[in-house]
Amino acid sequence: MIIAEKKPIEEIIDEVKDFNRILILGCNECVTVCEAGGKKEVEVLSSALRMYFITKGDEKVIDEKTLERQCDHEYLEELRGNIDDYDAIVSLACGVGVQFAAEKYLTTPLFPGVNTVCLGANEDRGLWTERCQACGSCILARTGGICPVSRCAKRVMNGPCGGSTNGKCEISKDVDCAWQLIVDRLNALNKMGDYEKVAPIKDWSTDRAGGPRTVTREDVKI
């Protein structure tokens, strides 16, 4: 899922202080799971903003709404009817949701309420870690299901490099060496033979280097 982090309240206050009718817009998908922009976070942020502006003697209308998804036309359309009731929207969706909402409602200023961080997993309570960089051509089949693109600091395709010590990466003692994990997994799978195969040069044109990416499926288009 997409992992995001809440923006500091001060930053959001600074963005919206000149508007009087504000909608705090949450998203029921990834940002709900990573506790950054779901219904609960919408409630908390709205309450905090209301309290801040009340104490400043500048009471504002701050409404709350959480959509099923902000990266889909049909859910964003739910706002169409009352979008004009608001001077500004703070979207707690990931960068995708914020942009999609902004594209749809051209004349309403829209501010992000979270920092979108990565594609990651819920590793532990309060711990989300990166697992994928959406490089566009998956090599996990060769690497024992562990991704050197997202988990190796150097994105080494034939690792490990000389910076791997006791299973940790040289950038930090808290970061696992992805290639150590790959070797361990290949060993467990009894597929160390795969490790001996030199990986071909990776096609990075499917990564961001090739510009913004799109997926077109003629078979599902109507």
Partner 1 sequence: MRLKIPANFRIVRVPCTGKVDIIHVLRAFEKGADGVYVVGCMEGDCHYNEGNFRARKRIEQAAMILDKVGVGGERVKMFNLSSGEGPLFAQYSIEMNNKIIELGPSPIRVAKQNKKNAA
- Our CB check for partner 1 shows the closer of 59 and 77 to be 59
Residues 57-86: x where in contact with partner 1 by CB under 8 A, - otherwise, as a string: x-x---------------------------
Q: Are 27 and 70 in contact (CB under 8 A)?
A: yes
**55 lines the binding site for partner 1 (CB under 8 A):** yes
Closest approach of partner 1 to the CB of residue 51, in Å:
5
Q: Are 40 and 27 in contact (CB under 8 A)?
A: no
**9 lines the binding site for partner 1 (CB under 8 A):** yes
Closest approach of partner 1 to the CB of residue 108, in Å:
25
The window from 6-14, 65-73, 87-95, 198-206 that contacts partner 1 (CB under 8 A) reads 6-14
**50 lines the binding site for partner 1 (CB under 8 A):** yes
The window from 55-63, 96-104, 116-124, 130-138 that contacts partner 1 (CB under 8 A) reads 55-63
Q: Are 21 and 61 in contact (CB under 8 A)?
A: yes
Euclidean distance between CA atoms 141 and 143, whole angstroms:
6
Closest approach of partner 1 to the CB of residue 56, in Å:
8
DSSP 165: B
**119 lines the binding site for partner 1 (CB under 8 A):** no
Among 5, 20, 33, 43, binds partner 1 (CB under 8 A): 43
- Our CB check for partner 1 shows the closer of 26 and 144 to be 26
Nearest to 56 by CA among 113, 109, 110, 13: 13
126: left (phi over 0), alpha (psi -120 to 50) or beta: left
Euclidean distance between CA atoms 123 and 145, whole angstroms:
16
Euclidean distance between CA atoms 54 and 41, whole angstroms:
20
- Relative to beta strand 114-124, strand 2-6 is antiparallel
Number of Cβ atoms within 10 Å of the Cβ of 94: 28
**56 lines the binding site for partner 1 (CB under 8 A):** yes
Q: Which residues bind partner 1 (CB under 8 A)?
A: 8-10, 40, 43-44, 47-52, 54-57, 59
